Amino acid sequence: MSKAVLIGLIGVVVMLGLLPFALIARSRATKSENTAPHLVLDMDKQPRLNPQAPSPMFADGRAMRPQIAGTVAREDLVARNEILNDVEKPRLVDDSANVQTIDSPEKYAALVLGRVRPAGMTDEQFGAMVPPAKPDDQEQMFYVKTIPAQIAVTMDFLKRGQERFIIYCSPCHGQSGYGDGMVARRAKGLQDAGSDAASGWVTPKNYHDDEMRQRPDGHIFNTITNGIRTMPPYDKQITVMDRWAIVAYVRALQRSQDAQLEDLPAADREKYK
Ligand code: HEC
Protein backbone atom coordinates (compact mmCIF):
# COMPACT_ATOMS: atom_id res chain seq x y z
CA MET A 1 0.00 0.00 0.00
CA SER A 2 1.41 3.29 -0.96
CA LYS A 3 1.95 6.02 1.58
CA ALA A 4 -0.54 8.31 -0.14
CA VAL A 5 -3.37 5.73 0.08
CA LEU A 6 -2.63 5.18 3.78
CA ILE A 7 -2.84 8.90 4.54
CA GLY A 8 -6.08 9.05 2.53
CA LEU A 9 -7.59 6.20 4.54
CA ILE A 10 -6.63 7.77 7.90
CA GLY A 11 -8.26 11.00 6.71
CA VAL A 12 -11.52 9.22 5.89
CA VAL A 13 -11.54 7.43 9.29
CA VAL A 14 -10.98 10.71 11.13
CA MET A 15 -13.80 12.38 9.18
CA LEU A 16 -16.18 9.47 9.93
CA GLY A 17 -15.19 9.66 13.61
CA LEU A 18 -16.35 13.27 13.70
CA LEU A 19 -19.74 12.43 12.20
CA PRO A 20 -21.54 11.49 15.52
CA PHE A 21 -20.50 14.83 17.01
CA ALA A 22 -21.82 16.66 13.98
CA LEU A 23 -25.16 14.79 14.29
CA ILE A 24 -25.40 15.57 18.02
CA ALA A 25 -24.66 19.23 17.36
CA ARG A 26 -27.34 19.30 14.66
CA SER A 27 -30.03 17.71 16.82
CA ARG A 28 -29.29 20.19 19.59
CA ALA A 29 -29.79 23.11 17.24
CA THR A 30 -32.92 21.92 15.39
CA LYS A 31 -36.49 21.28 16.52
CA SER A 32 -38.16 17.90 16.41
CA GLU A 33 -41.70 16.63 17.00
CA ASN A 34 -40.40 13.55 18.77
CA THR A 35 -39.72 13.46 22.48
CA ALA A 36 -36.15 12.82 23.45
CA PRO A 37 -35.39 9.19 24.26
CA HIS A 38 -35.33 8.66 28.03
CA LEU A 39 -33.07 5.94 29.30
CA VAL A 40 -34.03 6.55 32.93
CA LEU A 41 -37.61 7.76 33.26
CA ASP A 42 -37.36 9.28 36.75
CA MET A 43 -40.83 10.87 37.23
CA ASP A 44 -40.88 12.69 33.90
CA LYS A 45 -43.62 10.49 32.58
CA GLN A 46 -46.33 8.97 34.70
CA PRO A 47 -50.03 8.27 34.39
CA ARG A 48 -52.27 11.18 35.37
CA LEU A 49 -55.92 12.18 35.20
CA ASN A 50 -57.38 15.29 33.61
CA PRO A 51 -59.64 17.65 35.59
CA GLN A 52 -63.30 16.56 35.51
CA ALA A 53 -62.32 13.20 33.97
CA PRO A 54 -63.84 9.91 35.18
CA SER A 55 -61.70 7.40 37.02
CA PRO A 56 -62.51 3.80 37.90
CA MET A 57 -60.05 4.06 40.77
CA PHE A 58 -62.47 5.74 43.20
CA ALA A 59 -65.88 4.52 44.35
CA ASP A 60 -67.64 7.68 43.17
CA GLY A 61 -66.00 7.41 39.74
CA ARG A 62 -64.58 10.94 39.86
CA ALA A 63 -60.94 11.77 39.18
CA MET A 64 -61.19 15.05 41.10
CA ARG A 65 -61.26 14.38 44.82
CA PRO A 66 -63.51 16.41 47.12
CA GLN A 67 -61.98 18.24 50.09
CA ILE A 68 -61.42 16.04 53.10
CA ALA A 69 -63.96 17.01 55.76
CA GLY A 70 -62.50 19.39 58.32
CA THR A 71 -59.61 20.68 56.20
CA VAL A 72 -59.20 24.45 55.92
CA ALA A 73 -57.36 26.28 53.16
CA ARG A 74 -54.48 28.35 54.52
CA GLU A 75 -55.83 31.59 53.07
CA ASP A 76 -59.17 30.99 54.79
CA LEU A 77 -57.34 30.83 58.09
CA VAL A 78 -56.00 34.34 57.64
CA ALA A 79 -59.41 35.80 56.92
CA ARG A 80 -61.36 33.81 59.50
CA ASN A 81 -58.89 34.08 62.31
CA GLU A 82 -59.22 37.79 62.21
CA ILE A 83 -62.49 37.46 64.00
CA LEU A 84 -62.56 34.42 66.23
CA ASN A 85 -66.22 33.56 66.55
CA ASP A 86 -65.85 32.18 70.01
CA VAL A 87 -69.37 32.22 71.45
CA GLU A 88 -68.16 33.31 74.86
CA LYS A 89 -65.58 35.80 73.74
CA PRO A 90 -65.43 36.71 70.06
CA ARG A 91 -62.15 38.46 69.53
CA LEU A 92 -60.55 40.50 66.86
CA VAL A 93 -56.97 39.37 66.59
CA ASP A 94 -53.98 39.96 64.40
CA ASP A 95 -50.26 39.83 64.91
CA SER A 96 -50.12 43.21 66.61
CA ALA A 97 -50.46 43.62 70.38
CA ASN A 98 -53.99 44.87 69.86
CA VAL A 99 -56.56 42.22 70.78
CA GLN A 100 -60.12 43.44 70.92
CA THR A 101 -63.06 41.67 72.48
CA ILE A 102 -66.21 42.08 70.45
CA ASP A 103 -69.06 41.62 72.89
CA SER A 104 -71.85 43.59 71.24
CA PRO A 105 -73.24 44.27 67.77
CA GLU A 106 -72.45 47.95 68.33
CA LYS A 107 -68.79 47.17 68.95
CA TYR A 108 -68.66 44.89 65.93
CA ALA A 109 -70.10 47.63 63.72
CA ALA A 110 -67.61 50.21 65.00
CA LEU A 111 -64.46 48.05 64.95
CA VAL A 112 -65.00 45.87 61.91
CA LEU A 113 -67.18 48.08 59.70
CA GLY A 114 -66.22 51.56 60.92
CA ARG A 115 -69.94 52.21 61.30
CA VAL A 116 -72.26 53.59 63.93
CA ARG A 117 -74.91 51.15 65.10
CA PRO A 118 -77.39 52.75 67.49
CA ALA A 119 -78.07 50.50 70.52
CA GLY A 120 -81.09 48.25 70.26
CA MET A 121 -81.23 48.26 66.45
CA THR A 122 -82.26 44.99 64.79
CA ASP A 123 -80.09 43.44 62.07
CA GLU A 124 -82.75 44.34 59.50
CA GLN A 125 -82.78 47.98 60.55
CA PHE A 126 -79.01 48.12 60.55
CA GLY A 127 -78.81 46.46 57.15
CA ALA A 128 -81.30 48.93 55.73
CA MET A 129 -79.27 52.00 56.76
CA VAL A 130 -77.87 53.86 53.75
CA PRO A 131 -74.80 56.08 53.67
CA PRO A 132 -75.57 59.82 53.54
CA ALA A 133 -75.55 61.38 50.08
CA LYS A 134 -72.66 63.59 51.18
CA PRO A 135 -70.12 61.29 52.88
CA ASP A 136 -69.21 63.97 55.42
CA ASP A 137 -72.79 64.78 56.36
CA GLN A 138 -72.57 65.33 60.11
CA GLU A 139 -76.34 65.25 60.53
CA GLN A 140 -76.48 61.57 59.76
CA MET A 141 -73.76 59.69 61.60
CA PHE A 142 -73.22 56.64 59.46
CA TYR A 143 -69.48 56.14 59.85
CA VAL A 144 -67.75 56.46 63.21
CA LYS A 145 -66.33 59.96 63.62
CA THR A 146 -63.11 58.83 65.28
CA ILE A 147 -61.09 55.63 65.66
CA PRO A 148 -63.01 53.46 68.19
CA ALA A 149 -61.90 54.28 71.73
CA GLN A 150 -60.89 50.67 72.49
CA ILE A 151 -57.96 51.00 70.11
CA ALA A 152 -54.95 52.56 71.77
CA VAL A 153 -53.34 54.90 69.26
CA THR A 154 -49.76 54.66 70.46
CA MET A 155 -46.56 55.66 68.69
CA ASP A 156 -46.01 51.99 67.75
CA PHE A 157 -49.49 51.85 66.27
CA LEU A 158 -48.80 54.97 64.19
CA LYS A 159 -45.46 53.56 63.01
CA ARG A 160 -47.23 50.35 61.96
CA GLY A 161 -49.73 52.52 60.09
CA GLN A 162 -46.93 54.43 58.40
CA GLU A 163 -45.25 51.21 57.28
CA ARG A 164 -48.50 49.75 55.92
CA PHE A 165 -49.38 53.08 54.28
CA ILE A 166 -46.05 53.21 52.47
CA ILE A 167 -46.51 49.65 51.23
CA TYR A 168 -50.15 49.78 50.18
CA CYS A 169 -51.16 53.40 49.61
CA SER A 170 -48.13 55.49 48.72
CA PRO A 171 -47.65 54.03 45.20
CA CYS A 172 -50.79 55.94 44.23
CA HIS A 173 -51.31 58.56 46.93
CA GLY A 174 -47.64 59.48 47.42
CA GLN A 175 -45.71 59.30 50.68
CA SER A 176 -47.10 62.66 51.80
CA GLY A 177 -50.63 61.95 50.56
CA TYR A 178 -50.84 64.55 47.79
CA GLY A 179 -51.97 61.98 45.23
CA ASP A 180 -48.60 62.06 43.46
CA GLY A 181 -47.24 58.52 43.98
CA MET A 182 -45.12 56.80 41.32
CA VAL A 183 -48.12 55.02 39.78
CA ALA A 184 -50.04 58.30 39.61
CA ARG A 185 -47.08 60.11 38.03
CA ARG A 186 -46.56 57.39 35.46
CA ALA A 187 -50.26 57.35 34.55
CA LYS A 188 -50.30 61.14 34.27
CA GLY A 189 -47.23 61.01 32.00
CA LEU A 190 -48.93 58.45 29.75
CA GLN A 191 -52.11 60.53 29.60
CA ASP A 192 -50.15 63.69 28.76
CA ALA A 193 -48.39 61.80 25.98
CA GLY A 194 -51.81 60.90 24.56
CA SER A 195 -51.43 57.17 25.27
CA ASP A 196 -54.55 55.00 25.59
CA ALA A 197 -52.83 52.86 28.22
CA ALA A 198 -53.94 55.17 31.04
CA SER A 199 -57.17 56.50 29.51
CA GLY A 200 -59.40 55.39 32.43
CA TRP A 201 -57.02 56.63 35.10
CA VAL A 202 -58.42 58.94 37.77
CA THR A 203 -56.00 60.97 39.88
CA PRO A 204 -55.89 59.63 43.47
CA LYS A 205 -57.43 61.99 46.00
CA ASN A 206 -55.20 64.51 47.68
CA TYR A 207 -55.64 63.97 51.44
CA HIS A 208 -55.01 67.64 52.10
CA ASP A 209 -58.20 68.90 50.48
CA ASP A 210 -60.70 70.34 52.96
CA GLU A 211 -63.19 67.72 51.83
CA MET A 212 -60.77 64.92 52.77
CA ARG A 213 -59.89 66.50 56.11
CA GLN A 214 -63.55 66.52 57.06
CA ARG A 215 -64.20 62.87 56.30
CA PRO A 216 -64.99 60.84 59.46
CA ASP A 217 -62.34 58.24 60.41
CA GLY A 218 -64.86 55.47 59.72
CA HIS A 219 -65.23 56.73 56.14
CA ILE A 220 -61.51 56.37 55.47
CA PHE A 221 -61.62 52.92 57.09
CA ASN A 222 -64.47 52.00 54.78
CA THR A 223 -62.58 53.34 51.76
CA ILE A 224 -59.67 51.00 52.54
CA THR A 225 -62.03 48.06 53.23
CA ASN A 226 -64.37 48.39 50.25
CA GLY A 227 -62.59 50.77 47.89
CA ILE A 228 -64.35 53.83 46.52
CA ARG A 229 -65.34 54.71 42.95
CA THR A 230 -62.20 53.83 40.93
CA MET A 231 -60.04 52.87 43.93
CA PRO A 232 -59.92 49.10 44.57
CA PRO A 233 -60.67 47.51 47.98
CA TYR A 234 -57.81 46.40 50.24
CA ASP A 235 -59.73 44.23 52.72
CA LYS A 236 -57.99 41.05 51.54
CA GLN A 237 -54.50 42.46 51.93
CA ILE A 238 -54.83 44.55 55.08
CA THR A 239 -56.17 43.27 58.43
CA VAL A 240 -58.83 45.20 60.34
CA MET A 241 -56.35 46.49 62.90
CA ASP A 242 -53.83 47.51 60.26
CA ARG A 243 -56.60 49.43 58.47
CA TRP A 244 -57.19 51.43 61.64
CA ALA A 245 -53.44 51.99 61.98
CA ILE A 246 -53.40 53.39 58.42
CA VAL A 247 -56.37 55.64 59.25
CA ALA A 248 -54.41 56.98 62.24
CA TYR A 249 -51.40 57.61 60.02
CA VAL A 250 -53.48 59.37 57.34
CA ARG A 251 -54.72 61.68 60.11
CA ALA A 252 -51.12 62.31 61.20
CA LEU A 253 -50.18 63.15 57.60
CA GLN A 254 -53.07 65.60 57.34
CA ARG A 255 -52.06 67.23 60.60
CA SER A 256 -48.43 67.46 59.47
CA GLN A 257 -49.33 69.35 56.29
CA ASP A 258 -51.66 71.72 58.09
CA ALA A 259 -49.73 72.35 61.29
CA GLN A 260 -50.75 75.36 63.37
CA LEU A 261 -48.52 77.35 65.68
CA GLU A 262 -50.56 76.02 68.61
CA ASP A 263 -49.45 72.48 67.76
CA LEU A 264 -45.95 73.35 68.96
CA PRO A 265 -44.97 73.24 72.63
CA ALA A 266 -45.41 76.75 74.07
CA ALA A 267 -41.66 77.21 74.47
CA ASP A 268 -41.02 76.71 70.74
CA ARG A 269 -43.75 78.96 69.40
CA GLU A 270 -41.75 82.20 69.59
CA LYS A 271 -39.15 80.86 67.16
CA TYR A 272 -41.66 80.32 64.36
CA LYS A 273 -43.94 83.36 64.75
C1 HEC B 1 -54.07 51.87 42.74
C2 HEC B 1 -53.99 53.19 43.24
C3 HEC B 1 -54.48 53.43 44.66
C4 HEC B 1 -54.02 52.83 45.80
C5 HEC B 1 -52.96 51.77 45.94
C6 HEC B 1 -54.76 53.43 46.88
N7 HEC B 1 -55.62 54.35 46.40
FE8 HEC B 1 -56.84 55.57 47.49
N9 HEC B 1 -57.58 56.37 45.80
C10 HEC B 1 -57.17 56.07 44.53
C11 HEC B 1 -57.94 56.80 43.58
C12 HEC B 1 -57.77 56.75 42.07
C13 HEC B 1 -58.87 57.57 44.32
C14 HEC B 1 -59.93 58.49 43.77
C15 HEC B 1 -61.07 57.62 43.31
C16 HEC B 1 -62.08 58.37 42.48
O17 HEC B 1 -62.33 59.53 42.77
O18 HEC B 1 -62.60 57.74 41.53
C19 HEC B 1 -58.60 57.29 45.72
C20 HEC B 1 -59.30 57.85 46.78
C21 HEC B 1 -58.97 57.68 48.11
C22 HEC B 1 -59.57 58.39 49.21
C23 HEC B 1 -60.66 59.46 49.13
C24 HEC B 1 -62.01 58.81 49.14
C25 HEC B 1 -63.11 59.81 49.37
O26 HEC B 1 -63.64 60.36 48.39
O27 HEC B 1 -63.42 60.04 50.54
C28 HEC B 1 -58.98 57.95 50.35
C29 HEC B 1 -59.24 58.40 51.78
C30 HEC B 1 -58.01 56.95 49.96
N31 HEC B 1 -58.02 56.81 48.60
C32 HEC B 1 -57.22 56.27 50.83
C33 HEC B 1 -56.35 55.24 50.46
C34 HEC B 1 -55.60 54.44 51.40
C35 HEC B 1 -55.61 54.64 52.91
C36 HEC B 1 -54.88 53.55 50.66
C37 HEC B 1 -53.97 52.44 51.16
C38 HEC B 1 -54.61 51.43 51.95
C39 HEC B 1 -55.17 53.79 49.26
N40 HEC B 1 -56.07 54.81 49.18
C41 HEC B 1 -54.61 53.09 48.21
C42 HEC B 1 -56.16 55.21 44.18
C43 HEC B 1 -55.48 54.39 45.05
Where are the chain's structural domains? 74-128, 155-260
Pick from 86-90, 151-155, 185-189, 268-272: least confident: 86-90
The protein residue with its alpha carbon nearest to ligand 1, atom 19, reads: 204
Pocket mutation for ligand 1, best pick of 223, 236, 249 (most atoms within 8 Å of C-beta) = 223
CA of 204 to the centre of ligand 1 (A): 5
What's the rounded mean pLDDT across residues 238-246? 90
Laid out side by side, the sheet with 91-92 consists of 83-84, 91-92, 100-101
Report pLDDT for 94. Answer: 53
Pick the closest to residue 101 from 115, 118, 88, 120 (CA basis). Answer: 88
Q: In whole numbers, what is the pLDDT of the chain averaged over residues?
A: 86
Report pLDDT for 244. Answer: 94
Helix and strand counts by DSSP (H, E) for the chain: 11, 3
Reduce the DSSP state of residue 216 to 3 states and report it. Answer: coil
Q: How confident is the model at residue 157 (pLDDT cuts 50, 70, 90)?
A: very high
Q: How confident is the model at residue 72 (pLDDT cuts 50, 70, 90)?
A: low
Q: How confident is the model at residue 84 (pLDDT cuts 50, 70, 90)?
A: low
Confidence (pTM): 0.71
Report pLDDT for 45. Answer: 78
Report pLDDT for 81. Answer: 41
- CATH fold for domain 155-260: Cytochrome Bc1 Complex; Chain D, domain 2 (1.10.760)
Quote the crossing angle between the two packed helices 240-256 and 217-226, to the nearest 10°: 130
pLDDT at 107 over 70: yes
Among residues of the chain, what percentage have pLDDT more than 90?
A: 53
**Beta carbons of 91 and 100 less than 8 angstroms apart:** yes
| Pairing verdict, β 91-92 and 83-84 | antiparallel
CA of 53 to the centre of ligand 1 (A): 45
Is any ligand 1 atom within 6 A of the Cβ of residue 111? Answer: no
pLDDT at 89 over 90: no
Report pLDDT for 272. Answer: 77
